[in-house]
């Protein structure tokens, strides 16, 4: 799976090469909350460097997951999902970046918030399947919850992520401020459940 996902990450480079001559010397690679460009990068780095940076991140994540799985038994379904996050994000964001720099009208807000919402819904759906062994996917290095408490935290985290993810997706039909409010709610929800897990671990 690592080889296949690595190929997927690098494939978009072909699209960048096909349009290389038409791209500006300095490409926009970051946008603000109002869809206005606020970050640039030399063309060569954007077209060739970013995919390889994402590839390195993918290998790092997969290696960490495999080490964790050997120690704790892992969570196969969630791990498979996590292993495909970087490839999917790379393809979508790379093509979006190229098209935006070619002058096509691209709504960065909808793409970014849509990705966040979809990821939250998917991960929230799989979190309750994580083995409640008190070690896997802990919320703090010293966390050692009893299985029943870990299962409770996993369920609550899953519920928080699914609900906030759906809010992000629904916000796409409204103004920008609604979308960023939904993202803020998603972040606060995850932090809140994480704090809840930490408090349980200290009882």
The encoded tokens of residue 1 equal: 């799976």
- CB burial of 116-148 (b: ≥16 within 10 Å; e: otherwise) equals bbebbbbbbbbbbebbbbbbbbbbeeebebeee
CA–CA distance from 114 to each of 92, 120, 163, 164 (Å)?
11, 10, 14, 12
- Percent of the chain residues topping a pLDDT of 70: 89
Identify the band that residue 145 occupies on the pLDDT scale cut at 50, 70 and 90.
low
pLDDT tens string 92-106: 999 999 999 998 888
Output the six-digit token pair for 68: 């964790």
Interhelix angle 176-201/147-171, rounded to 10 degrees, is: 180
List pLDDT tens digits, range 26-70: 999 888 767 788 888 999 999 999 999 999 999 998 888 888 777
Residue 169: pLDDT over 90 = yes
pLDDT for 140 beyond 60: no
- For residue 165, is pLDDT > 60? yes
pLDDT at residue 198, as a whole number: 79
List the one residue out of 157, 169, 69, 66 whose CA is nearest residue 116: 169
What is the rounded average pLDDT for all residues in the chain?
Answer: 85
The token duo for 12 is 């978009």
Determine which of 20-24, 28-32, 131-135 has the lowest per-residue pLDDT on average: 131-135
Reading the block at residue 123, the tokens are 């991960």
By C-alpha distance, which of 82, 185, 199 is closest to 152? Answer: 199
């Amino acid at each position: 799976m690592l080889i296949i996902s690595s190929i997927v990450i690098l494939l978009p480079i072909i699209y960048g090469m096909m349009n290389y001559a038409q791209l500006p010397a300095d490409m926009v690679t970051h946008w603000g909350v109002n869809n206005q460009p606020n970050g640039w990068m030399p063309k060569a780095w954007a077209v060739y460097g970013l995919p390889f940076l994402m590839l390195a991140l993918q290998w790092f994540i997969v290696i960490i997951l495999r080490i964790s799985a050997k120690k704790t038994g892992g969570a196969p379904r969630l791990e498979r999902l996590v292993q495909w996050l970087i490839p999917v994000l790379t393809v979508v964001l790379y093509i979006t970046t190229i098209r935006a720099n070619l002058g096509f009208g691209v709504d960065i807000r909808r793409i970014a918030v849509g990705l966040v919402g979809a990821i939250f819904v998917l991960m929230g759906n799989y979190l309750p399947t994580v083995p409640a062994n008190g070690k896997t996917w802990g919320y703090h290095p010293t966390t050692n919850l009893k299985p029943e408490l870990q299962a409770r935290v996993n369920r609550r985290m899953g519920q928080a992520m699914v609900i906030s993810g759906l809010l992000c997706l629904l916000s796409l039909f409204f103004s920008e401020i609604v979308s960023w409010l939904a993202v803020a709610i998603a972040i606060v929800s995850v932090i809140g459940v994480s704090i809840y897990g930490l408090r349980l671990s200290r009882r």
